Amino acid sequence: MNVVKQLLSNQVLIAALLAWTAAQLLKLPMDYIINHDWDWQVLFSPGGMPSSHSAISTAATLAIGLFHGFDTPLFALSVTLTMIVIYDAISVRHEAGIHAKWLNLILDEVFTSSKIPKKKLREMLGHTPFEAIAGITLGIITTFLVGLFCR
């Protein structure tokens, strides 16, 4: 029972998980606004608006700073990892999504002229800088709310 109490009082974990959950839930209406169709799969998919990767890592980093100190080695490590996560989301994974889009176009041409079974690659893997900034903002807001209500 002590473990459950510790988990429920861990403000860093609460802020991070709430930021991630909020980001994933916000993807559904944001996707609807863009595509005019309800796609429930976006709730469990990478990519999209806002970036849940940016939200969770920013929330955890800020919560570590607020609740344990901005001068701790743990905060420094968290900042470093958050930078890597956000860089990966807006560069490597975003570029991989562009590659998947082009490969799908090429494969469409191949499939129309052959009997190869068609399975498209997932194109939305990463984030635009705007989606990452939205995730960062969401992480910051969530962490401050946790700080207000979980003290």
The domains of the chain are located at 2-149
Distance CA 112, CA 107 (A): 8
- In this prediction, residue 136 carries a pLDDT of 84
Name the residue among 126, 146, 140, 138 with its Cα closest to residue 23.
138
Q: What is the pTM of this model?
A: 0.70
Task: For the beta carbon of residue 91, count every other beta carbon within 10 angstroms.
Answer: 14
Overall average pLDDT of the 110-118 stretch: 65
Q: Residue 53: CB partners within 8 Å, gap ≥ 6?
A: 46, 85, 86, 88, 89, 127, 132, 135
Tens digit of pLDDT for each residue in 2-32?
888 888 889 999 999 999 999 999 888 888 8
